[in-house]
Amino acid sequence: MRGIPVIMKTRTFLIGLALLGALVLGPGIAEAQELHLDPAKVMGPDACGECHKSSVESWKGSHHFSTFKTLPREKEARAIADKMGLKRIKSGSECLSCHFTSADVNGKTKPIAGITCESCHGAGRDWIKVHSDFGGKGVKAENETAAHKVERYKKSEAAGMIRPGSLYQVANNCFGCHTVPNEKLVNVGGHAAGSKIELVAWSQGEVRHNVWYSKDNNVSPIERLRMIYLVGRALDLEFALRGVAKATKKADYAVKMAKRAKKARKRIKAIAKLVDAPELMAMYSAAKSAKLKLNNEAKLTAAADEVARHAQALANKYDGSTFGGLDKVLPKAKKYKGK
Ligand code: HEC
Ligand code: HEC
Ligand code: HEC
Ligand code: HEC
């Protein structure tokens, strides 16, 4: 189903599972938490590290890695958990879906790390072998046939891999966590109502790991940065609209999400003047068609779906080479977030 964010698909699957569990097995299992990934399919970062050692090294310098150890000890985290009525941060809590990666270990689902490779590239069980098999034992990348490569990518994606080439899909994950779409967590827990995330600055600092196709961890090429910028701005709008759609009370969460949506909408309109891509004005018009108010879920969700459709079309159609008009608004290297 195009237009439905990846993160929602996986979540729906797990909520479904929890409900089914409640019906079949009684109330105990109904506590199964909403997780970002299917824990039965999570391999963990060590499995990726067998081949992607340098990616793991750079990941270890990020907050995504360190949150696993640091979060449960923080006063601020404890305060949020207390207000939410949560005894433990790392066990069965609402913190799991964004701060941790959970996997099934010896028949038990438990958090094994912070935000990991699979949080962004998809749970690996069904594609980890496929994506790295160039055509049987002994066949190296340079000897792979073109047809096999096409087939390999197709099979990997069908098995749940989110490849960096699918910019909309991979970036979708960032906004699913970083807009903090959880009303109770914000209103009751007092959690930050979303990050001020701009995708170029936030992906090219501590999160950057361009260490596979070349070793130097260079900043992504300028054409790519332009596409990252556009897709990021579009996703910000999409998720803000989804956030307002789900709001039920006139309180911090709804107010901040509506502000976010308004700002994101304005930005898209401004960007549309800098580049020749009709998809941007189409996004703006779609967003404008739904009022940013409570009890407007159907219209806001339809608008968000429409924004998503145009964002995917944009990501698939252009390569950034004609978008030089954006260069003056791209963040400078000193604004990159983290190391
Ligand atoms: C057995 C070795 C091996 C393991 C284990 C492995 N990979 Fe890979 N990975 C590769 C190879 C080889 C490639 C290059 C494929 C190519 O050139 O298309 C690759 C490519 C990738 C790419 C880039 C694909 C693209 O489209 O450019 C990503 C992302 C990736 N791997 C993620 C992971 C993650 C996440 C894990 C753990 C769940 C993992 N890999 C485990 C060998 C491995
Ligand atoms: C919907 C996703 C999401 C959920 C669920 C979530 N967080 Fe967060 N949290 C974030 C994001 C994103 C940030 C980073 C905000 C920033 O600085 O931009 C963050 C940051 C934080 C911070 C400040 C950074 C730090 O590590 O000191 C604390 C504390 C925190 N979260 C606690 C919690 C607790 C406790 C829970 C569970 C009750 C929780 N969070 C659930 C997304 C989430
Ligand atoms: C926060 C999300 C996120 C996490 C965590 C993450 N990746 Fe990525 N990964 C991306 C994005 C986005 C790109 C594309 C970057 C670009 O083109 O600028 C990417 C690119 C890659 C590539 C291609 C790199 C290249 O040289 O072009 C590989 C391989 C990869 N990731 C593997 C991994 C592995 C292994 C891990 C865990 C150690 C990991 N990733 C963790 C989001 C993530
Ligand atoms: C599964 C949820 C999740 C996903 C997916 C995710 N993040 Fe994060 N990210 C977080 C949380 C939670 C934190 C805060 C961790 C902490 O400090 O405790 C964070 C922190 C960060 C930070 C450090 C922020 C700071 O204040 O220093 C950056 C940069 C970042 N994320 C960028 C990204 C980008 C770019 C992507 C997508 C390519 C992404 N994240 C995907 C949850 C996520």
* pLDDT score for 20: 37
Side chain identity at residue 198, one-letter code: E
pLDDT of 5 reads 40
Nearest CA owner, ligand 2 atom 40: 95
Contact 314, 230 (CB under 8 A): yes
User: Which residue's alpha carbon is nearest to atom 35 within ligand 4?
Assistant: 203
Ligand 2 centre distance from Cα of residue 8 (Å): 19
Contacts of 71 (CB under 8 A, 6+ apart): 77, 89, 95, 99
In terms of Cα–Cα distance, which of 275, 276, 191, 266 is closest to 236?
A: 266
Ligand 3 pocket, mutate which of 37, 56, 63, 117 (most atoms under 8 A from CB): 117
User: What is the longest distance spanned by two Cα atoms in the chain?
Assistant: 61
Nearest bound ligand to the CA of residue 52: 3
- Confidence (pLDDT) at 26: 30
254 CB within 6 A, ligand 3 = no
Cβ–ligand 4 distance for 98 under 6 Å, the answer yes
CA atoms within 13 A on the CB side of 303: 26
Torsion of CA 165, 151, 58, 53, to 10 degrees: -170
* Count of CA atoms in the C-beta half-sphere (13 A) of 147: 0
pLDDT of residue 92: 76
User: Cβ(131) to ligand 1 under 6 A?
Assistant: yes
HSE-CB of 262 using CA atoms within 13 angstroms: 9
pLDDT along the chain (339 residues), means of 10: 38 38 33 78 98 97 97 96 94 91 95 98 98 95 96 98 98 98 97 98 98 94 98 98 98 98 98 98 98 98 98 98 98 95
